[in-house]
Each structure stands twice: as C-alpha cells, then as structure tokens.
Amino acid sequence: MRVLGTCNSLSPISFVNSSNFRRCFLPSETLIPSLSSTLPLRRVSRLSSSSSAPMAAAYVAPAEPKKPVKPWLVVGLGNPGKKYDGTRHNVGFQLVDAIGEAEGISINSVSFKALFGKGFIGDVPIMLVKPQTFMNSSGESVGAIVSYYKIPHEQVLVIYDDLDFPFAKLKMLPKGGHGGHNGMRSIIDHFKGNRNFPRLRIGIGRPPGKMDPVNFVLRPFTKQEREELNFTFQDGIEAVRILLLEGFNKSATFVNTAKPLKQLG
C-alpha cells in the first residue's frame, strides 16, 4: 500500500486528529498501518468533516409527574324514602338525578351514608351524592366524604331548595351562610364553620297564605310546576358542566344572568 507524505510518522491518535488526514487518504474507508508491524491492519471510517469528537447526546429533562386531579363533589340535599319523592324539599336530589342521567352516571352505590355515583364530565372527575341521613343531618355524610377524599371546600357544590327565592329560579353563589336551611346548617357545622364552598339554590317559592313552611316544603309539585322545573333542571345541568370545565365565574354568569321566560305548551 502506498502511503502519502508524512503519514508514516503519525501515531493512530494523532493521525485521526491530524489536519493531514484528508490529504493522506481520499476513500471513505482506508487501511491504516499500525505502529507495530506485527499487528494486523485496522479498518476505520472517515470522520465527519465538522469535528472528530463524538457528538454529545441531547439532554432531555424528565417529565414531571402529573398531580392527581381532585374530584368535584356535587351534593343534592333531600330526605330519603318514597314518602318524600317529588317534594319541594327534595329538589336538590332531583337535580342531582337529572345530572346523573344526562352524564351517564349511575347513582346507585351506598357509601358514607349516601347514595353515591362516580364519573366524569369531560376529563374532570365528579362524584354525585344524595345523603341518606335525612335533611337535618346532611353534614354527617358530606363531611365524611370530604374528609376521606381530601376534597377542597371550593370543589364542593351543594344543591338545595330555597323558600326565599322565586319558584324555579336558580342562583349560584361562591360561599355564604345557611340562611335558615337545616341541611346547609349541618354541612357548615361538619366543615367546622367553613362557609367557603359554592352552592346552587333552587327557588321553590313561598307558602301560600299562612301555611306552615314545614308543611309547604314537604308538598309535591303540581304538574305545571314539574314541567317548569324540567326547564330549570336543563339550566342546572349546563351550569354544572360549565363549572367543572370552565370555572366558577363563567358558571355563575350563566346561572345568574336573567333568561327569557320559557313558554309551556
């Protein structure tokens, strides 16, 4: 083999790094004589023209683990048993049932003294709950669920009836007191006085004449009232969807903005 110029005097290392490398050999693969005549010839590939040093691997930062998303707890208040089905005091139960039906969430598990259903709205986990403790002890169930799942209070929406609000009207609030509602009073007590959780009030109107409010809230709705409530429930379902997917402010704006009256056929 013919060796050009001063290539005979280069060591293997200096040869590879030498600026004479290209002048010495033109082919992409070339036989290089070793310094010892007793060693066989070695075959090497021509190095990159930009650098003879190996390329450093690009650093890729490890992906940070995603924090688990806390579920929303949506609680409807009411009294258990057929005796109270369809009554005014159970309108919270009824709206939660409507949400479950619309979102394909079965509320048929029994846990924490409540009927319980788990599912998703979009990619947000949600728990639908109907306490079975009777209205005045609702906090026993709700407090235990919040404590067990470590749900932030701002992700607990309580839906309940309101005597002081016009019939079939909705009102979304970020926090507040119990307003004389015993179910809400119980929840606040079990939250150790914390009132900073959202609530969706459903107006059931005032009792006629001098009727005792206790008797009034246990009365069923008339057929016409039921039809009107069905429209209200559609707004309530949409309000919960907006709450989970777009936040409280957008949901409150949707709920609390005056809407045209719906005509019943």
- Nearest alpha-carbon partner for 72 in 171, 139, 154, 141: 154
| Residues across the chain | 265
- Please tell me the distance from the alpha carbon of residue 205 to that of residue 88, in angstroms, as a whole number: 9
Handedness of CA 67, 71, 72, 73 (dihedral sign): negative
- Please tell me the distance from the alpha carbon of residue 69 to that of residue 126, in angstroms, as a whole number: 10
Query: What residues have CB less than 8 Å from 244, skipping those under 6 apart?
Result: 72, 121, 122, 124, 126
Q: 171 and 162 in contact (C-beta within 8 Å)?
A: yes
**Can you read off the two tokens belonging to residue 156?**
């607990």
- Please tell me the distance from the alpha carbon of residue 32 to that of residue 44, in angstroms, as a whole number: 8
Helices (H), 44-202: 91-103, 138-149, 182-190
For the question of residue 89 being annotated catalytic, the response is yes
- Pick the catalytic residue: 89, 153, 178, 190? 89
Catalytically active residues are: 89
